[in-house]
Each structure stands twice: as structure tokens, then as C-alpha cells.
Amino acid sequence: MTSRKENDALGQKILDTAQSLFNQYGVEEVSMHQVAKTTGIGQGTLYRRFSSKSKICFTLMEAKIDRFIDELDVYLRSSGEELVALRLRTIMYRVVLLINEDLEMLRIMLIPARLEDARNTLDENPPFIYLRTQIQSLLEDAVERGEAKSLDPFVTSILLSTLPRADIILYLRDMGYSAEEVAEQYCRSFIDPLFIHT
């Protein structure tokens, strides 16, 4: 009988193999058969753990988002003396760059037929909840300090959290804009106007 530890190790081996193949060949070009063969397991074993390539992508993205959230927590704890506008700008800039890093993987995940298993409302989406809550807290702080214009922190936090979209970033990248240019334009268009002094 296989132990839980062995199952976890095999699951991680599959994910590491898939990530390596994605990095080498691109997400679109890698098949589930290739992931199984390179991992050294049968396709049945792979499909019992991950029913599709999009499931592998979701799992890889969840781990990356968890690390990203940890990094943001460290930044927020260490940047309390900075102007809120700068803190919010830094967070949203990083969000746009994070989305840009994995556009190909996100494209696989966002194909409507494959979204069925991952359909969540915003209220059930932990990364969205985390980001929205942090933004709302920063905006409330900015209003309290007199740094922000008159705004509703709750509604504004929802709008800011949902604006960085993978499809729009991909479109702009295809139009010739770098990820940094997209992030800068996002901040100029949606963050800077909220503050009295930026």
C-alpha cells in the first residue's frame, strides 16, 4: 500500500516535471502523455492525480500565488511608513508582473470548456479576497491620513482587484508593450488618480 508521503512526493514530482517541460517547450506544446512519460509513470497514474493539463496549471499557479502572498505580507509589514500611494502602486505593479509571468499557463486555464471545475465566485476566491482586503485596508489608511481623494474603499478595492486581467495584459503584450509598461500604465490610470499627492 502506498503511503501518503509517497503520494505527496509523486504529486510534487509530476508538478516539477510539468513545470520543467512548460519552461522548456511552452505550455501549449506539452501533452499529458509527455508529462507522464518524462515523470516515469503511466498515464493512468497521472490522470488519477490530475485530470487535465489545466488542473496541473491550476495547482502550479496556486503554489505560486501562495508564495506571492507571503512576499506581499512581508512587504506590507516592512513598508508601514511609506505613503499609501507608493505601497498600493508597488502591490499592483507586482500583481501585473505576476500575471504576465504566466500568461501562457493562464491562457490554458481560462479556456471556457476547462473553466467548469474552477468556477468560483469572487467571494470564494482566496487570492482575490486577500488582494481586495489588502487594498481596502490601504485605502482606508490613505483616507484616514488625508492622502486619498474622497472614495469608497470597499468598492474601489473591488474595482482595483479585478482590473489586472490576463487577457488584457496578453493583448497589450501582443501590441508591443512590455510587462513593465503595462504595470506602469495600470498604476498611472487607476492608482495615481486616487491620491492627493502621488
The domain spanning residue 30 has which CATH number? Answer: 1.10.10.60
Position 152 scores a pLDDT of 96
Give the global pTM: 0.74
Do 165 and 93 belong to one domain? Answer: yes
Close Cβ partners of 123 (under 8 Å, ≥ 6 residues apart): 129
Please indicate, yes or no, whether residues 116 and 66 belong to a single structural domain of this protein.
yes
Residues 44 and 15 in one domain: yes
Instruction: Please report the pLDDT score of residue 72 as a whole number.
Output: 93
Structure confidence at residue 61 as a pLDDT band (50, 70, 90):
confident
Lowest-pLDDT range of 29-38, 81-90, 103-112, 160-169: 103-112
Could you tell me the residue range of the domain that residue 39 belongs to? 1-50
How many other CB atoms are there within 10 angstroms of residue 127's CB atom? 16
Given a cut of 90, whether residue 165 has pLDDT beyond it is no
* pLDDT above 80: residue 108: no
Residues 19 and 89 in one domain: no
What does the pLDDT read at residue 15? Answer: 93
pLDDT given for residue 118 in this prediction: 45
Per residue in 180-198, pLDDT tens?
Answer: 999 999 999 999 999 986 4
Please check whether residues 24 and 59 belong to one and the same domain.
no
Same structural domain for residues 10 and 60? no
Are residues 62 and 8 part of one domain? no
More confident residue, 33 or 105: 33
Assess whether 87 and 176 both reside in one domain.
yes
Domain identity same for 78 and 176? yes
Predicted local distance difference test score (pLDDT) of residue 6:
54
| 162 and 66 within one domain | yes
pLDDT at 5: 53
Do 186 and 139 share a domain, yes or no? yes
pLDDT, mean over the chain: 85
| 122-135 residue pLDDT tens | 556 778 889 999 99
Looking at the structure of the chain, the number of domains it has is 2
Secondary structure class of 5 (helix, strand, coil): helix
Q: How far is CA 107 from CA 27, 53, 192, in A?
A: 9, 12, 29
Give residue 100's pLDDT band: very low, low, confident or very high (50, 70, 90).
Answer: confident
SS3 content of the chain, % helix, strand, coil (to 5): 75, 0, 20
State residue 64's pLDDT score.
86
- Grade residue 167 by pLDDT with cuts at 50, 70 and 90: confident
Q: 4 pLDDT band (50/70/90 cuts)?
A: low
- Whether residue 28 sits in one domain with residue 89: no
